[in-house]
Structure 1
């Protein structure tokens, strides 16, 4: 049932992490290393500006009408028929996204962990859990997420320390010697990892103030990019770029390489116990976004009546839509990117054009660019500058690539620091205001 509870900025920021990190740790590194080889770990710098831009768009939407989600705004701005058609296109895209991710998830479990469990049982049990969360309050999802994502981030951030004896820097070198094409190709593929951010438009009516959604999404995007960069660094440094581009569930292979003394050589079982809940929370958020879109066609704006039937449809489609694991993995890594950008440009472009013609008075701006906000953009520009400078001179001498990579790490860490400082500043302003 669609409730109107309000969520805090930290809860929304934590949901961004659940949405972006866990689902892109297992199979996406294979596609990115296939494109960028040893420079794959630079890839997640490029989606950050896209994520911040999406945060800005959500802020603008909330300023138009803070009590509506993007589906309701679409029907208001473009009319019942055209708005309903555009909402249907977005719902179909989100359904395709959820189906592909559920299929990858079920294939992974049935082939790597629960070897004797039929895939359809995994899908059914997963969908029952998603239906349970969709049938309750959004408070359940957000509070559960805060608990698991904090444990998840704190433990997975220590992955380089766990793998210290396994990381071989020679597998990462020579840094940036392949030219600018490799990091760019990896960055383009990494963009597809962040396209799920559009589902936050379904939760706009749960946010207290427009600036909250901007700061939450911006902070979440930046720390998620940092976590995925660390993960890709470990994947390439431990497994090697050649093997990483050929192994399907490379994230699972990486976790299995963790051996903390001879007595703690099954850390992977503990890590997977944190990975799965965060991944399921992401699926639940995506599923609720789909149901919220369907509920926009009704007057009561509730989706209890469609919850279980839609869950059954998605389960069946996830089981029959793809022939094998390779097909769905390639589709998710390469095929979803053009579909995502096509649908999002059509949907958001039509929405903002329709709202402009309505000429509705928006809320006054509640956010100004702070010094820390400027610092975020300066550090992002610096990180991109050293990458492209490194690609120009990295093939001349190895020391140039080493310097560029070190500067890249420094700029990325500074970007995360500036982002958290900006978050703290706006949080303090919110308490005082």
Structure 2
């Protein structure tokens, strides 16, 4: 398989876009009410620990993706089912991100358009980009992420003009106690969005300077966490904790409240821009990880042909696994978080790191005998 290369900055753009992509639109930490921003901040610091685990694994096996590391750590027979689970996991999360995108678009601007058409059209463009290779994906990240950040900053500035904007909505801090905050941090905020950065292990081998892997990973968690925390503060300052906690897309709601001199309105088009850009990174990351994993598992020469199959499976799965958006959110929160996120983002990587540490610790001794 031809080895492509991307720079540390390109990897940063792709993974931070992946991390905050659709998370900006959601009301993260809603159960903690006015302390939602605090759950994101604590989740960020916990996410740093996970990122250190992912980067340490990469240091042990610098030329390998996660899929390639697993057989070297646990053996090929035990590795096979674990790899299949990870590939299925990547594909499922690509489909949930597609569903998020489709639901927002058909509920806001394309009300009469079937959701299947919206998701299918987006997936065609996504596969076209990914077939250009990881270098093309990295260059697209350089173009799209700055646009994403500019749109986000414009939205935050506009929110300052909303009459009901007040930082008093953030008080009292820990007014409901520390329990709701900790309950939201683990497992929900740790796994989404910070734990999802496990996908970075599928990109590390393409980094042209592998010594920058840890710096990129830490920067992604810190900067992404700060952006999400600030975004939560802005949403809470406009909506207040009660309304914030019952909105699926609070950023979309607050942007619709912006009105400058009763003339400039309907800035929610910026939210659509954010969602398209964010889902580009999210779906692209998961789809690339699944395609590359399949190619490595079955020793294929390249992963581009696999993308065509995934381009059919992922949109279909996004429409079939739940009947409506409410059940989709419930499925993601309860089933995916508990039975997939926790084992595959936390438990399995920790076990892999422990075994890899033991193998590498005794490897020099055994080779010197």
TM-score by length of 1: 0.77
2:134 to 128, 134, 138: 138
The answer to whether the aligner puts 1:252 opposite 2:248 as a matched pair is no
Task: Give 1:204's aligned residue.
Answer: 204
d(CA) in 2 for partners of 1:53, 1:270: 33
Gaps of 5+ in 2: 365-369
- CA deviation profile, 1:137-174 (whole Å, cap 9, x unmatched): 21111111122211222331344331113212333222
Aligned counterpart, 1:230: 230
Partner of 1:11: helix, strand, or coil? Answer: helix
The 1-side partners of 2:67 and 2:331 are apart by 27
- C-alpha separation between the residues in 2 aligned to 1:322 and 1:271? 25
What's the counterpart of residue 15 of structure 2? 16
CA distance in 2, matches of 1:5, 1:308: 20
What's 2:220 paired with?
220
- CA contact under 8 A between 1:55 and 1:213: conserved in structure 2? no
Is contact 1:171-1:241 (8 Å) kept?
Answer: yes
1:341-366: per-residue Cα shift (whole Å, max 9, x none)?
11234432443345345448999xxx
Residues 349-358 or 76-85, more deviating: 349-358
2:320 matched to which residue of 1? 320
Could you say what secondary structure the match of 1:248 adopts? coil
Judged with a 3 Å threshold, the aligned counterparts in structure 2 of structure 1 residues 347 and 87 are, in CA distance, closer, same or farther, namely farther
Match of 1:63 in 2: 59
CA drift of 1:27 comes to: 2.8
Larger displacement relative to structure 2 (5-14 or 157-166): 157-166
Matched, 1:91 2:90: no
1:173 alignment counterpart: 171
Larger deviation, residues 122-131 vs 318-327:
122-131
**1:265, CA displacement in angstroms?**
1.5
Query: Which stretch has the larger CA shift, 231-240 or 255-264?
Result: 255-264
- RMSD of aligned C-alpha atoms? 2.3
Which whole-Å CA distance do the structure 2 matches of 1:11 and 1:260 have between them? 37
Measured in 2, the distance between the counterparts of 1:158 and 1:262 equals 18
Name the structure, 1 or 2, with higher relative contact order (CA <8 Å, separation 6+): 2
Between the aligned partners of 1:334 and 1:234, the Cα distance in structure 2 is: 27
Q: How does 1:351-362 map to 2 (within 5 A)?
A: 351-356=352-357, 358-359=359-360
Classify the secondary structure of the residue corresponding to 1:6: coil
Partner of 1:182: 180
- After superposition, where does 1:262-411 map in structure 2 within 5 Å? 262-338=262-338, 339-356=340-357, 358-359=359-360
Q: Is the 8 A contact 2:252 2:271 kept in 1?
A: no
Deviation at 1:334, TM superposition (A): 4.0
| CA deviation after TM superposition for structure 1 residue 307, in Å | 1.8
* CA–CA separation in structure 2 for the residues paired with 1:116 and 1:89: 37
CA–CA distance in 1 between the matches of 2:262 and 2:160?
15
Question: How far apart are residue 217 of structure 1 and its match?
Answer: 1.3
CA–CA distance in 2 between the matches of 1:253 and 1:51? 28
**Total equivalences in the alignment:** 359
- The residue aligned with 2:113 is 117
| Equivalent in the alignment of 1:391 | none
Equivalent-residue separation in structure 2 for 1:247 and 1:158 (angstroms) = 22
Q: Helix, strand or coil for the counterpart of 2:268?
A: helix
Counterparts of 1:46-61 in structure 2, within 5 Å, are 46-61=42-57
* Unaligned ranges ≥5, structure 1: 364-433
After superposition, give the CA deviation of every residue in 1:156-208 in whole Å (9 maximum; x if it has no partner).
13443311132123332223322212332343332222121111111121123
Report the equivalent of 2:239. 239
**Cα separation, 2, equivalents of 1:362 and 1:112:** 58
Q: TM-score, normalised by structure 2?
A: 0.89
